[in-house]
Amino acid sequence: MITLPGEVDGRRVRVGCDVADVEDVHNSLAAFGDRYLRKVFTTGEINDCQGRNRVHRLAARFAAKEAVIKAFAEPDMSFPWREIEVTRDGPLPLLRLSGTLAESAQRQGWLSSSLSLSHADCHAMAVVLVVCSPAVDEPTFTVNGGDAGAGAR
């Protein structure tokens, strides 16, 4: 049995994903309105999410925030949602971190990221891939049972 390393060419790779229920976002907007928006989304995100698919876009951004939280892989960290922002470069969504989460990303050695969003009628989803600096204090390859050549099972 082998445990495959979470790195590519010596650089650690983190992946996070999440699915958000569009109706949940709709219900939160109905129940809490602007308070919900301001607690979770930045002004830029709120401005980006206008028009016919507003709720779907918000749901995709919420999924992106949760995907980023998973990529950090530190359950005891604080995660102010507004410190995770989805911006755009033309058609491409980009990830912007601020405040304590930007500091945490630096501490973890985050170098670059790629973000993908999607939605259907009922759900929205996000996947984030993060490339980090090479690990200095983590074991990168663990082999149990002396069968490394057989691949993961």
Partner 1 sequence: MQDQIRDVLATHGRMAVDPREVDEQADLYELGLTSHASVDVMLALEDAFDIEFPDEVLKKSTFESVHNIAQVIEGLVKAVA
Positions touching partner 1 (CB under 8 A) are 18, 20-21, 24-25, 27-28, 31-32, 35-36, 39-40, 62, 66, 69, 75-81, 83, 99-100
Through-space distance between the first and last CA atoms of the chain, rounded to whole angstroms: 7
Complex with partner 1: residue 78 or 112, whichever CB lies closer:
78
The percent of the chain in helix, strand and coil, each rounded to the nearest 5, is: 40, 30, 30
Shortest distance, CB of residue 77 to partner 1, whole angstroms?
Answer: 6
**Which CB, 2 or 19, lies closer to partner 1?**
19
How far apart are CB 38 and partner 1 at their closest, in Å?
10
Nearer to partner 1 among residue 7 and residue 21 (C-beta): 21
Provide the minimum distance between the beta carbon of 39 and partner 1 in the complex, in angstroms, as a whole number.
Answer: 7
Measured from the CB atom, is 37 or 148 closer to partner 1?
A: 37
Name the residue nearer to partner 1 (CB basis): 44 or 99.
99
Taking the complex as a whole, the smallest distance from the CB of residue 32 to partner 1 amounts, in Å, to 5
Least distance (Å) between residue 153 CB and partner 1: 28
**Residue of 153, 111, 126 lying closest to 56 (CA atoms):** 126
* Dist CA 69 CA 88 (whole Å): 20
CA 46 to chain centre: 18
Distance CA 3, CA 99 (A): 34
Closest-CA residue to 102 (of 135, 80, 124):
80
Count of CB atoms within 10 A of residue 78's CB?
Answer: 10
